[in-house]
Amino acid sequence: LLLVGQRARMASQIRLTTYVGGAVVGLLMFGSLAVLSVERDSPDGNIRTLGDAVWWSFTTMTTVGYGDHAPTTGLGRMLAVGLMLSGIALLGVVTANIAAWFIARFDKDDVEERRQTEAIRELTEEVRALRDELAALKGTSAK
């Protein structure tokens, strides 16, 4: 992902989104394989297939956690805590990225609005100067 980001010359927010997306997929697969490895042979476990493990990882990372699948071993629960914290952190990064995009967009709009306001002020002054000049040519005072 780092190599792709360096080569792609993308905007920083698009690059960050690419990294976060890759991290989500990587954590999802790592979490799924790790919990499947730990829980598959547990007598009380209900995560027995890769599909169950991926479903559990996805619902855990998105903080939905339906409860239909859950780790029963100590190591499985430790993996769950790591996956939960990672999911919350990644959700925070995505939210912050969206907020930063909106703020940058609003700042850009503010700069353009200030530029237009300054252009209008300059044009107004120029019109006043032209009126004064025209009045001077006519020999009367304009107000």
- String of DSSP letters for 21-76: HHHHHHHHHHHHHHHHHHHTT-TT----SHHHHHHHHHHHHTT---SSS---SHHH
- pTM score: 0.63
CA distance 125 to 109: 24
CA distance 57 to 75: 15
CATH of domain 2-104: 1.10.287.70
One pLDDT digit (tens) per residue for the chain, 143 residues: 566 656 655 567 677 777 888 888 899 999 999 999 999 989 988 999 999 999 999 999 888 878 888 999 999 999 999 999 988 888 888 888 888 878 877 888 788 888 899 999 999 999 999 999 898 888 865 45
User: Cβ–Cβ contacts within 10 Å for residue 56, how many?
Assistant: 27
